């Protein structure tokens, strides 16, 4: 679980292994409430992807995100919300939880985004969600496995 968390919070390198992320830059990091172990992060990201299998239309989005890293009994949570960017709203969270009695972990991703009116249709959002999210989860897993092999 710690390895997956370290990959997920490797903010300046996320674009090197997440396929639709052009850049990811850590702008600021602050400690949360005293004694909590929580961290607040400001992150600038640029993402782009094809809207269709054929390179007909490309979606590009710039986001300034506020993230909060939280420690939980069962693992860690990373909550995020857009401060500025190309959507009307964009927020969600990642959870990385330990599987009791197992060497692995479970990764959950939740996102709630509202496009700027007339930019994207509901069908496009559904398509993007069903293609990009699984692709990014697999890329996260692959990077964690790669780091496990190189450190082990």
pLDDT band per the 50, 70, 90 thresholds, residue 111:
very high
Phi/psi of residue 5, nearest 5 degrees = -65, -40
pLDDT band per the 50, 70, 90 thresholds, residue 119:
low
pLDDT value at residue 127: 77
The C-alpha atoms of residue 41 and residue 24 are separated, in whole angstroms, by 12
- Quick: pLDDT tens for 3-61: 999 999 999 999 999 999 999 999 999 976 655 668 999 999 999 887 666 556 678 89
pLDDT value at residue 55: 57
Rounded to two decimals, the pTM is: 0.86
Using only the alpha carbons of the chain, give its radius of gyration: 16
Percent of residues, the chain, with pLDDT higher than 90? 59
Percent of residues, the chain, with pLDDT higher than 70? 89
The C-alpha atoms of residue 68 and residue 76 are separated, in whole angstroms, by 10
pLDDT value at residue 36: 60
Asked if residue 106 lies in contact with residue 8, where contact means CB atoms within 8 angstroms, the answer is no
């Amino acid at each position: 679980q710690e390895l997956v968390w370290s990959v997920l919070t490797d903010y300046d390198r996320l674009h090197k292994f997440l396929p639709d992320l052009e850049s990811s830059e850590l702008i600021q990091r602050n400690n949360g409430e005293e004694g909590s172990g929580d961290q607040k992060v400001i992150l600038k990201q640029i993402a782009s992807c094809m809207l269709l299998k054929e390179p007909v239309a490309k979606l590009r989005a710039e986001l300034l995100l506020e993230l909060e890293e939280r420690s939980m009994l069962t693992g860690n949570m990373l909550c995020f919300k857009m401060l500025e960017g190309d959507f009307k709203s964009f927020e969600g969270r990642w959870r990385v939880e330990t599987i009791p009695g197992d060497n692995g972990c479970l990764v959950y991703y939740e996102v709630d985004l509202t496009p700027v009116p007339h930019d994207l249709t509901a069908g496009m959002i559904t398509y993007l969600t069903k293609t990009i999210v699984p692709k990014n989860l697999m890329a996260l897993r692959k990077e964690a496995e790669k780091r496990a092999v190189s450190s082990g």
